[in-house]
Amino acid sequence: MKSIYVFWMILIILSLACNFSASEPTPMPAPVSPTSAPIETTTAAAQPTETNLTMLYISGTTHIESKPQTWPNVDAFLAFLRQVTALGMKWSVGADIGWLEGEPRAAELIQASEALGVQWDVHTHSPQDRAKAAYLITQLGGHPNSVVSGMLVSEFNSIAPQTYQGFTWTPQVLWGGTNCPGHRPGCDDLAAGLWIPLSAEQYTTHNPNGQYIRVGGGTHQLEDGLALAQAIANGQHTYPVISFTLMVSPTTLTIVESSDGMAEITTFFNEMNGYNFVRWANIEETAQAWVEAGSVPSRIEME
Ligand SMILES: [Zn+2]
269 C-alpha to ligand 1 centroid (Å): 26
Per-residue model confidence as pLDDT tens digits over 138-195 = 999 999 999 999 999 999 999 999 999 999 999 999 998 899 887 788 888 899 999 9
Which residue, 228, 200, 215, is CA-closest to 295? 215
183 C-alpha to ligand 1 centroid (Å): 7
Residue 279 has pLDDT above 70, yes or no: yes
Residue 2 has pLDDT above 70, yes or no: no
Kindly report the CA angle at 217 between 211 and 219, in degrees rounded to 5?
Answer: 150
pTM: 0.82
| pLDDT score of 84 | 98
Q: In CATH, what is the architecture of 50-292?
A: Alpha-Beta Barrel (3.20)
Kindly report the CA angle at 103 between 98 and 104, in degrees rounded to 5?
Answer: 145
List the chain domain ranges.
50-292
* One-letter amino acid of 143: H
First to last CA, the chain: 84
177 C-alpha to ligand 1 centroid (Å): 11
* One-letter amino acid of 89: M
Return the bridge partners of 57, or none: 243, 279
Q: Is 30 helix (H, G, I), strand (E, B) or coil?
A: coil
Residue 52 has pLDDT above 70, yes or no: no
Q: What distance in Å separates the CA atoms of residue 129 and residue 107, rounded to the nearest whole number? A: 19
Rounded to 10°, the helix 262-272/222-233 angle is 10
Q: What distance in Å separates the CA atoms of residue 145 and residue 26, rounded to the nearest whole number? A: 45
124 C-alpha to ligand 1 centroid (Å): 7
| pLDDT score of 228 | 98
70 C-alpha to ligand 1 centroid (Å): 10
Instruction: Grade residue 129 by pLDDT with cuts at 50, 70 and 90.
Output: very high
| pLDDT score of 18 | 38
Q: What distance in Å separates the CA atoms of residue 191 and residue 61, rounded to the nearest whole number? A: 16
Per-residue model confidence as pLDDT tens digits over 56-85 = 999 999 999 999 999 999 999 999 999 999
- Weakest mean pLDDT among 35-39, 119-123, 153-157, 183-187: 35-39
Residue 35 has pLDDT above 70, yes or no: no
Who wins on pLDDT, 25 or 192? 192
When the pLDDT of each residue in the chain is averaged and rounded to a whole number, the result is: 87
| pLDDT score of 51 | 54
27 C-alpha to ligand 1 centroid (Å): 59
Q: What distance in Å separates the CA atoms of residue 191 and residue 79, rounded to the nearest whole number? A: 30
Instruction: Grade residue 43 by pLDDT with cuts at 50, 70 and 90.
Output: very low
